[in-house]
């Protein structure tokens, strides 16, 4: 009986929170309402001034990376910390005596499915066609993010996806790159550091933190803004890519520990 009451506590809490949320629904503006506060206060300013202020034709990029650059910096930091948390939770060694790490052979996993190990058409198509295409698209998304859709986050996710495909398709022996989890965590930190470094450079140039117009380069105002946005985007790309790789490595490593037991 006591167990039943214990199980019921979360349900009751969720019910209370949901009830509170639904009670406030009337006061929220409906979707697409032109009189909503979000559309009347800042949006007009952004639409009128974004191109002149930031030299970025894409309003989304202008708002995310320029007007709210500080916000995005801390978001990148949060993501880095999330990757670090996954590593600490998953990849910490459960038993210090279990030191032997047995590499998991992919052939085992394939053979019990009845498929030949290294003669898959999937692998050929993935490595020869899909991976290069995704990589090219990722670079396009990164460098064209200022003008069209996308930006650092999407580009980093795409590159991380290429790494995941590469790991799943050609594990162990043949693969383009290998990043152990210590290095990928460091790389995620480096991505965040590039972002912060951009802010410090603007401080050196005599501006406010992350005020791209004051970068200490001999460029015009517009070029400085483009360069600043690009530097930040590159930092975000590296951070996201490395975080994705870190989580993948942590999951893989955890599986090895569990095999040892």
Partner 1 sequence: MHSLILEAVLLMALIAITLVVIFDKDLLAAVVTYCAFSFITMFLYIVMGAPDVAFTEAVIGVISTIYFVISLRNIDRRCK
Binding residues for partner 1 (CB under 8 A): 31, 60, 109, 149-151, 153-154, 157-158, 160-161, 164, 168, 244, 247-248, 251-252, 254-255, 258
CA distances from 211 to 110, 216, 217, 223, 233 (A): 53, 11, 13, 13, 15
Q: How many angstroms separate the CA atoms of 138 and 162, rounded?
A: 10
Nearer to partner 1, 47 or 200 (CB): 47
Nearer to partner 1, 1 or 261 (CB): 261
One DSSP character per residue, 58-98 reads -HHHIIIIIITHHHHHHHHHHHHHHHHHHHHHHSS-S-TT-
Q: What minimum distance in Å lies between the beta carbon of 9 and partner 1?
A: 21
Q: What minimum distance in Å lies between the beta carbon of 167 and partner 1?
A: 9
Q: What minimum distance in Å lies between the beta carbon of 7 and partner 1?
A: 17
Nearer to partner 1, 81 or 157 (CB): 157
Nearer to partner 1, 32 or 206 (CB): 32
Nearer to partner 1, 153 or 212 (CB): 153
Nearer to partner 1, 30 or 173 (CB): 30
Say if CB 233 and CB 152 are below 8 A apart. Answer: yes
Q: What minimum distance in Å lies between the beta carbon of 86 and partner 1?
A: 10
Q: Hunting for tokens 């290429």 — which residue is that?
A: 162
Say if CB 66 and CB 56 are below 8 A apart. Answer: yes
Say if CB 203 and CB 209 are below 8 A apart. Answer: yes
Q: What minimum distance in Å lies between the beta carbon of 219 and partner 1?
A: 27
Q: What minimum distance in Å lies between the beta carbon of 138 and partner 1?
A: 10
CA distances from 203 to 54, 115, 196, 199, 234 (A): 18, 58, 11, 6, 19
């Amino acid at each position: 009986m006591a167990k039943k009451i214990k199980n019921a506590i979360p349900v009751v809490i969720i019910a209370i929170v949901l009830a509170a949320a639904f009670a406030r629904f009337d006061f929220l503006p409906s979707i697409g309402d032109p009189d909503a506060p979000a559309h009347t206060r800042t949006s007009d300013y952004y639409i009128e001034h974004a191109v002149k202020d930031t030299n970025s034709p894409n309003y989304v990029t202008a708002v995310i990376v320029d007007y709210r650059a500080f916000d995005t910096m801390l978001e990148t930091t949060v993501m880095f910390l999330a990757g670090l948390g996954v590593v600490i939770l998953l990849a910490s060694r459960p038993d210090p005596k279990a030191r032997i790490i047995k590499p998991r052979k992919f052939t085992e996993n394939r053979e019990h499915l009845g498929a030949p190990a290294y003669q898959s058409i999937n692998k050929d198509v993935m490595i020869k066609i899909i991976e290069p295409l995704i990589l090219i698209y990722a670079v396009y998304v990164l460098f064209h993010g200022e003008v069209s859709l996308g930006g650092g986050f999407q580009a980093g996710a795409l590159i991380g996806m290429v790494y995941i495909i590469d790991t799943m398709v050609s594990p162990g022996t043949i693969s383009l790159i290998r990043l152990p989890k210590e290095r990928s965590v460091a790389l995620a930190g480096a991505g965040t550091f590039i972002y912060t470094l951009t802010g410090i450079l603007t401080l050196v140039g005599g501006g406010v933190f992350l005020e791209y117009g004051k970068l200490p380069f001999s460029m015009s105002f517009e070029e400085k803004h483009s360069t600043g946005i690009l530097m930040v985007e590159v930092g975000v790309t590296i951070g996201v890519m490395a975080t994705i790789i870190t989580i993948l490595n942590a999951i893989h490593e955890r599986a090895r520990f569990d095999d040892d037991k």
